[in-house]
Every structure is written in structure tokens, then in C-alpha cells.
Amino acid sequence: MAGKMLRRSSLRLKGLRKRWLVNTITPVFLMLTLLVALFSLGISNYYYGSIQKGLETRVEVLSNSFHEYFMGNGYSNYYQKAVQAAQNFEDRDAIELQFISAGGHIEVSSSGLTAGTTPGTTDISQALMENRTAHFQGSDPETNEQIMAVSTPLRSGGRVVGIMRCVTSMRLVNQQVMIAVLVIILIALMCLSMVLISNLVFINDVVEPVAVVTDAAKRISHGSYGFRVENSYSDEMGELVDNINDMSMKISQNEKMKTEFISSVSHELRTPLTAINGWGETLMEDPLSDPAQTRRGMRIILNETRRLSTMVEELLDFSKMEDGRFTLSIEEMDLQAEFEDAIFTYMELFKQEGIELTYESPEEELLPPISGDPERLKQVFCNLLDNAAKHGGAGRRIHASITREGSDQVIRIRDYGHGIPEAELPFIKQKFYKGSSKARGSGIGLAVCDEIITLHGGELIVGNAEGGGAVVTVRLPEEQ
């Protein structure tokens, strides 16, 4: 099962890496492709346009000179001057100067190799038919070489008698354009590689910790409570790992407390039920036994019944707290009277157990009324007094007081027992928590008390008193 989960997790992470790379690299690739295409088009247009412009300028200058000096003296003079112009052409190494007849045949050429041939390109036919300068770029029909040519008509007596044509090879230009395009493609590939590498490094830095955290979360969800992930990160991932570890520890603590709670409640229910059942059978078998023993048995049954009722009430209150049904019935009440009622109720009970309960009344004769739920607050007082007897009964003395401090009415209940270990104080109000105490109880009474006081806008503080013992302080505001 664990191997299957790891495989599924690995597949999901591979999918995450793939989506990340596709979503990141695709826009960059498309943008670089567009830039390369635009640059290639621009460099091509620049080179080819420059060459075409140069050829057109050269043809225009030569044709103007030819018209001015040679085109009025007959064909023999025209031919002679054409041969002379071709022989004296300075740029013969890069450009071929041709004189073409009206029939499209080359009569004179600066290279001397193409004389008598028929080029057959569109620039010649356009110049003859449309009587204007025309250009051609493409493959030479005779040699299949890439060329660029510009042709302009030569006129005599108002009619076209020939064509002056400048032709250049595009081999070197095409090489230069190709080199420029290859350079920009290489730069684009380098940029794309840098983006890809940086994204791979980044995605690995993200995915690998995610894989670790995912595996840890799965282990926790399948019962490995308390499992911790080694945190070697200092960014948001480190904060996530800390939260996962904190969650794992809290779940582990809650599971431990839940187990202890079930065990404790089972024991707490079994003990009074056993006592009630035992004394009930004893009294049933001999109803006319010693009256003192009968009273003793009845007192034990009543005490254990009261303990069961208290435990059931705590469980019901805890259930209401968990599902949000825990509410208060607020009214104007006399906090001092309710507290003294609880004091005098427990005073006689504690006396029977050998515990002295002393009460210190406020310096003021009467404290002003506050808004609160009398039943819930009395439940808090009884629970705190009962806790003081259970956990601090070894001191055989409990001191209770109520006073007014500023705008708060403050109740303190102190025992003279062994106190609470300092390490347990931060957790003492947590549900199910019993710490090292061996006293009977469910471990949720103090959590219920804290919830009741919090709903009243007050504060419940548990600590150790100077000179030994524990002290519980309840602060309730007079105005809420």
C-alpha cells in the first residue's frame, strides 16, 4: 500500500513538473521563435534591399550617361560604345554589366562569358514591354545560381533598342544572411536553455520538498502521528514544514490524550458502578443489618452516584462544546451570593473528609451585580473546589476568596498540596489532559470551566502559589 501511494505521489509530482515546464517554456519558446523570425526577415530585407538599391542606382547612372553621350549616333556607334563600357566597367568582379538586344539576347557582357545567350528572366521582359526599370531575384535559368538583376530600357528615337542590365550573384549575400540568422538562432537557443535550466533547478527546489511534505502528510494521515520532517528550508517551504510538524505533534498529543481519556473514563465509570453494585447487593441481602452500616452504604452509594452524575454532565458539556451547542443563559446575577452558596455547600462535605475550607469575604459589604449565567458559573465554582480537594487534599486546607479589582470581580481558590509541575502548567486547561496527577477524573472539567469563563468575557488562570500549593484565579468583568 505504501509503495503504491509513493508511486501515485511520484506520478503527480512528475505531472506537476511537466505542467510547470510546459506552461513556462512554451511562451518563452513562442516569443523567441517570433523574435528569430522577425530578425531573419528584417536582416534579409536589409541585405537584399541594399543590394537591389545599389544595382538600381548603378544602372540608372550608367543608362543616363549612355543616353546622353551615345544613343543618337546609330547602332554601330551604340554597339562600339557598349563594348567599350563593358570593358571599362570597374565593378566587374562583383557585378556583371550586360547589354541586351530588343529580342532578349545578350549582345555585350563585362564577363564575356554570357554573350549570345538568352537569360529569359522576368526583369528583361518587363523592361522591354513596360518601358521601365525592373528587377529580378531568384535562380538563373541557365546556371541555377541565385542572382539579383536590374534591367533598364535604352531608347533611341522614341523606341526601345536594347536593355542595360546589371547582374550580381547572391551566394555571398545569402551566406551572410544565413550566418546572421544562425547567430540569432544560437542566441535564442542559449536563452531558451538558460530559462529551461533555471526552471528545472527551481522546480526541483519546489517539487522535491513538496514530495517530502506529501509523503509526510500521507504517513500522518495513515496513523504515523508524531512523525516529523527534517526542516532544512528557510523560506515559505520551511514555514510549511514547521506547520506540518506542529500538526503532527498536536495530532499525536490529541490521540494520546484521547486514548488516555477513554481508559480513564472507563476506569472512572467502573469504580463507582462497582461500589454502587456491591453496596446495593449487600443491602439487598440483609436489609435489617446494622443501621450504621446501612447509613454508610447509602452514603457511599449517594457519593458515587453524585460522582457519576458530575462525570456525565462534564461529558455532555464537552460534547456541546465540540459541536458548538454550548450556550449561556445570561441574566443579571449576584456573583458573590452564587460563590458563597457553593462555598457553604462544600464546606460541610470537605469537613467530613478532613479538609478545612476557609472563606474570605470582600472588604465591601456587597459587590455589584454582573451579567452572567448563574448555573454555569456555579458549575465552575463547584468544579474548582472539587479539583482543589482532589489534587491538593494532601494539604488538608483550601482557601477561597472573592474581591473587586478595578472593573473585575476576582475569585481565587487555593489549596496547600504539592502544586502543579511547571512543565504541565501550559497544558493544564487542555481537554483530556491530566498530567502526572493520579486523582480520579475525566480530564475535561477544567477545559469546560475555561470555556464557560471565556464565554463570559473573563479569564481563568491556573498557577502555583507562593509557599506551595496551586491557585486558580477567575476574573469576570462587571460590564460586558
Q: What is the mean pLDDT of residues 368-391?
A: 88
The pLDDT value given to residue 268: 63
Reply yes or no on whether the pLDDT at 5 is more than 60: no
79-93, 141-155, 401-415: range with highest mean pLDDT: 401-415
**Would you give the distance in Å from CA 138 to the centre of its chain?**
58
Number of other CB atoms surrounding residue 195 within 10 Å = 15
Q: What is the CA radius of gyration of the chain?
A: 52
Tell me the pLDDT band of 190, cut-offs 50, 70 and 90.
very high
> Among candidates 84, 49, 81, which has minimal Cα distance to 68?
81
* Residue 209, domain member (yes or no): no
Report yes or no: 397 and 358 within 8 Å, Cβ to Cβ.
yes
Whichever domain contains 421, its CATH number is: 3.30.565.10
CA quadruple 234, 235, 239, 245: dihedral positive or negative? negative
Q: Among 48-62, 126-140, 249-263, 441-455, which stretch is predicted with the lowest mean pLDDT? A: 249-263
Q: What is the mean pLDDT of residues 142-170?
A: 85
Instruction: Tell whether 36 and 169 lie within a shared domain.
Output: yes
Domain end point (choices 316, 345, 367) = 316
Please, where are the H alpha helices in 222-232?
none
* Residue 32, domain member (yes or no): yes
Cell 477561597 locates to: 400
191-205, 209-223, 432-446: range with highest mean pLDDT: 191-205
Q: What is the mean pLDDT of residues 361-381?
A: 86
Instruction: Tell whether 26 and 158 lie within a shared domain.
Output: yes
The pLDDT value given to residue 333: 92
Domain end point (choices 316, 343, 358) = 316
33-47, 66-80, 217-231, 315-329: range with highest mean pLDDT: 33-47
Instruction: Tell whether 144 and 63 lie within a shared domain.
Output: yes
Reply yes or no on whether the pLDDT at 2 is more than 60: no
Q: Is 110 helix (H, G, I), strand (E, B) or coil?
A: coil
Q: Among 75-89, 109-123, 218-232, which stretch is predicted with the lowest mean pLDDT? A: 218-232
Tens digit of each residue's pLDDT (9 = 90 or more) over 414-466: 998 888 888 888 878 877 666 666 555 556 778 888 888 998 999 999 999 88
Q: Report d(CA 209, CA 121) in Å as an integer.
A: 68
Tens digit of each residue's pLDDT (9 = 90 or more) over 253-291: 777 767 766 766 676 677 677 777 877 777 777 766 677
Instruction: Tell whether 168 and 249 lie within a shared domain.
Output: no
Instruction: Tell whether 14 and 74 lie within a shared domain.
Output: yes
Grid cell at residue 236: 515559505
Reply yes or no on whether the pLDDT at 361 is more than 90: no
Report the predicted TM-score, pTM, of the whole model to 2 decimal places.
Answer: 0.46
Express as a percent the part of the chain with pLDDT over 70: 84
Q: Among 98-107, 156-165, 365-374, which stretch is predicted with the lowest mean pLDDT? A: 156-165
The more confident residue out of 92 and 404 is 404
22-26, 212-216, 283-287: range with highest mean pLDDT: 22-26
The pLDDT value given to residue 1: 42
Reply yes or no on whether the pLDDT at 151 is more than 80: yes
Q: What is the mean pLDDT of residues 365-381?
A: 88
* Residue 422, domain member (yes or no): yes
Domain end point (choices 289, 316, 343) = 316
Q: Which residues, other chains included, contact 456 with Cβ-Cβ below 8 Å and sequence gap of 6+?
A: 328, 372, 373, 377, 476, 480
The pLDDT value given to residue 23: 79
Instruction: Tell whether 408 and 276 lie within a shared domain.
Output: no
Instruction: Tell whether 393 and 253 lie within a shared domain.
Output: no
The pLDDT value given to residue 16: 65
**Would you give the distance in Å from CA 421 to the centre of its chain?**
41
The pLDDT value given to residue 157: 67
Reply yes or no on whether the pLDDT at 3 is more than 60: no
Q: What is the mean pLDDT of residues 124-132?
A: 87
Q: What is the mean pLDDT of residues 242-261?
A: 76
Residues paired with residue 13 on neighbouring β-strands, in sequence order: none
Instruction: Tell whether 367 and 282 lie within a shared domain.
Output: no
The more confident residue out of 190 and 8 is 190
The pLDDT value given to residue 100: 87
Instruction: Tell whether 78 and 160 lie within a shared domain.
Output: yes
The pLDDT value given to residue 291: 74
Report yes or no: 265 and 311 within 8 Å, Cβ to Cβ.
yes
First to last CA, the chain: 56
- Supply the mean pLDDT for the chain: 80
* Residue 349, domain member (yes or no): yes
Q: Among 91-95, 112-116, 140-144, 331-335, which stretch is predicted with the lowest mean pLDDT? A: 112-116
Reply yes or no on whether the pLDDT at 62 is more than 90: no
Instruction: Tell whether 120 and 169 lie within a shared domain.
Output: yes
The more confident residue out of 3 and 415 is 415
20-34, 98-112, 119-133, 402-416: range with highest mean pLDDT: 402-416
Report yes or no: 184 and 86 within 8 Å, Cβ to Cβ.
no
Number of domains in the chain: 3
Please, where are the H alpha helices in 222-329?
236-285, 291-323
The more confident residue out of 146 and 248 is 146
The more confident residue out of 99 and 296 is 99
* Residue 229, domain member (yes or no): no
Quote the domain boundaries for residue 25: 2-175
Whichever domain contains 302, its CATH number is: 1.10.287.130
Tell me the pLDDT band of 398, cut-offs 50, 70 and 90.
very high
